[in-house]
Amino acid sequence: MTTTTGAPLLAPAGDHRNATRTIGAPLARALAVAPDATAVTCAGVEFTYAELGARVRRLIGALADLGLERGDRVAVLGANGHRYLELYLAVPAAGLVIVPLNTRHSDPERVYAVADSGARVLITDRAVAGLDDDVRVVGLDDEYDRLLADATETSIPDGDDAPAEHDLAGIFYTGGTTGAAKGVMLTHGNLVANAFHFMACWPFTEDTRFMIVAPMFHAAGTIGALATIWAAGTQVIVPAFTPAGVLDVVESEGVTATLVVPTMMDALAVEQRERPRDVSSLRWLSHGSSPAARELLRRTHATFPAASMLHIYGLTETSPIVTLHPDEQVRLDSPRAMSCGRPAVGVEVRIEDPVERTTLPSGQVGEVAIRGANVTPGYWNKPEETAKVLDGGWFRSGDLGYLDDAGYLFLVDRAKDMIVSGGENVYSAEVENALYSHPAVVEAAVFGIPDDRFGEAVHATVQIRAAVTADELVAHCRLTIAGYKVPRTVELREDPLPKSGAGKILKRNLRDAVWEGRESRLV
């Protein structure tokens, strides 16, 4: 069976299976070396690896009881929790395909993902209107627990019965920040490669207590899951983000590492300064999804001095890790503090001319292209979209950036977000960084709006935490960036900017609201 992209859903009969490159491998090792170690803790619930393994085996049996067969898709919609982790492990290990659904999407968007993926079962903690009648709905609560209780504990498939590394493990629908959601296919090999790459760059051990606070439906939410299990460490799962709640968990659970988005990092720093906890256990405070301003990094490091701040750049299509920057805190006054770091071990990055597709030398801005075992085989049922981004194993990210002479990657913009004003290229990330350096700014989104004179003018939508005027922010920007880059218009808000489920600011939504009724002015 194949998808319309030509990427295999299941390996052909007789295909050689490398068990170490499938989702079941990390749990098998943890069960062998540390069955009594704590595998997961979440809101007062705690399981050892032996207990987690038993639940995963029961879940595999329960999925079979639902009539699911190899290659069938299982959609999951719900808040972070130990059940989500069990599904993340059991569904692919059983030879099925997990389809995590975005909790921030509307019902029509979820129905589209279920129908597009062909999911036969939806396991959910909330109602979804408009599903086809042939989709079996299972509650991600007591009903889920009853299924496990009634199921026969089976074994995790191995040998010829186990999935192969090229088998599809999941279909992850993008957040739609630049258009309609696409189903990103990730294989067992992709996800295992991501774990290998992470472990090669970051010290995962049996003492690791990795806090999952980013949403688990997104690749960033489970970014460290397999690596932590491989090392027989502990997953500390937080159902929902609140600054106070997260810091309480860090203190009570002795969390050693986590991944957050910059807005979360800022909120944590504010809460910790106002109501300090004992967070001395936290050794790695990583961030991703969007760039972090230098001032935010300084404030965060001053608030969490024992924690190394790790910048991770990645995409759903790369499982997700591309580059890592493990030592920002010692270089905050260096230009490289604002880079995304260097490619993870096992990943290649080059900068391409977006038109000629030639490799550009260091220092020149172009499109970021990525190659490695972590790269998606393509988009589900979208061969034309796949062909646009994959060529010779290289994935074209749509991000604009450059590499310096030491291989550090600097992102300057999304290709679709670059502003051309009066014939000059303006990279929104540079303008946003200038805005973020003002202490009153919480979040900033910069994009172009129609302008009769310049074609496009620089516009900024800004969430503020203290009294400040648009003119004051414009004057502040003039101190650090060229005049043609300075916002010509600024919208101030007290509420957070709209975001995708992964925490990325939805510039498209902001842009559409500002552009409405202005298209006729374009020349």
Please report, for the chain, the start and end positions of each structural domain, with discontinuous segments joined by +. Answer: 19-409, 418-521
Strands (DSSP E) found in 346-439:
347-352, 366-372, 378-379, 390-391, 394-403, 409-414, 419-421, 424-426
CATH class of 19-409: alpha beta
**Which residues lie below 8 Å from residue 333, measured CB to CB, with a gap of 6+?**
none
How far is the C-alpha of 1 from the C-alpha of 328, rounded, in Å?
46
DSSP alpha helix (H) spans, 219-336: 225-230, 243-253, 262-274, 294-303
Q: Answer whether the bond into residue 163 is a cis peptide, omega within 30°.
A: no
The tokens describing 101, both together, are 């659904």
Task: Confirm if 204 and 256 have CB atoms less than 8 A apart.
Answer: no
Residue in this structure with the two tokens 């009294």, named with its chain if needed:
467
Burial of residue 324 (number of CB atoms within 10 Å: 0-12, 13-18, 19+):
buried
Burial of residue 495 (number of CB atoms within 10 Å: 0-12, 13-18, 19+):
exposed
Residue in this structure with the two tokens 């190659």, named with its chain if needed:
371
- What is the full DSSP assignment across 115-176? HHHT-SEEEESS--TT--TTSEEEETTHHHHHHHHHSPP-PPP-GGGSPPTTSEEEEEE---
- Indicate if 418-521 has the same CATH topology as 19-409: no
pLDDT value of residue 9: 52
pLDDT per residue as tens, the chain (523 positions): 334 343 445 544 445 567 778 999 999 999 999 999 999 999 999 999 999 999 999 999 999 999 999 999 999 999 999 999 999 999 999 999 999 998 888 888 899 999 999 999 999 999 999 999 999 999 999 999 999 999 988 988 887 788 999 999 999 998 654 456 799 999 999 999 999 999 999 999 999 999 999 999 988 899 999 999 999 999 999 999 999 999 999 999 999 999 998 888 989 999 999 999 999 999 999 888 666 777 788 889 899 999 988 889 999 999 999 999 866 554 677 888 888 899 999 999 999 998 899 999 999 999 999 999 999 999 999 999 999 999 989 999 988 899 999 999 998 877 777 787 766 778 788 899 889 989 999 999 999 888 766 767 899 999 999 999 999 999 999 998 888 899 999 999 999 999 876 677 888 888 877 776 554 322 2
Q: Select from 3.30.300.30, 3.40.50.300, 3.30.565.10, 1.10.10.10 the CATH code of 418-521.
A: 3.30.300.30
How far is the C-alpha of 132 from the C-alpha of 19, rounded, in Å?
36
Residue in this structure with the two tokens 């690596």, named with its chain if needed:
227
Pairing of the two strands 342-343 and 321-325:
antiparallel
**Apex 521 CA angle, 518 and 523, nearest 5:** 140
Pairing of the two strands 394-403 and 366-372:
antiparallel
Q: How far is CA 501 from CA 148, 339, 448, in A?
A: 29, 24, 24
- What is the full DSSP assignment across 46-57? EEEHHHHHHHHH
Q: How far is CA 207 from CA 30, 247, 252, 254, 281, in A?
A: 13, 19, 15, 10, 11
- What is the full DSSP assignment across 381-405? T-HHHHHHHEETTEEEEEEEEEE-T
The model carries a pTM of 0.83
Phi, psi of 488 (to 5 degrees): -85, -25
How far is the C-alpha of 259 from the C-alpha of 286, rounded, in Å?
5
How far is the C-alpha of 220 from the C-alpha of 237, rounded, in Å?
13
How far is the C-alpha of 213 from the C-alpha of 243, rounded, in Å?
11
Tell me the β-bridge partners of 27: none
The amino acid sitting at 335 is P
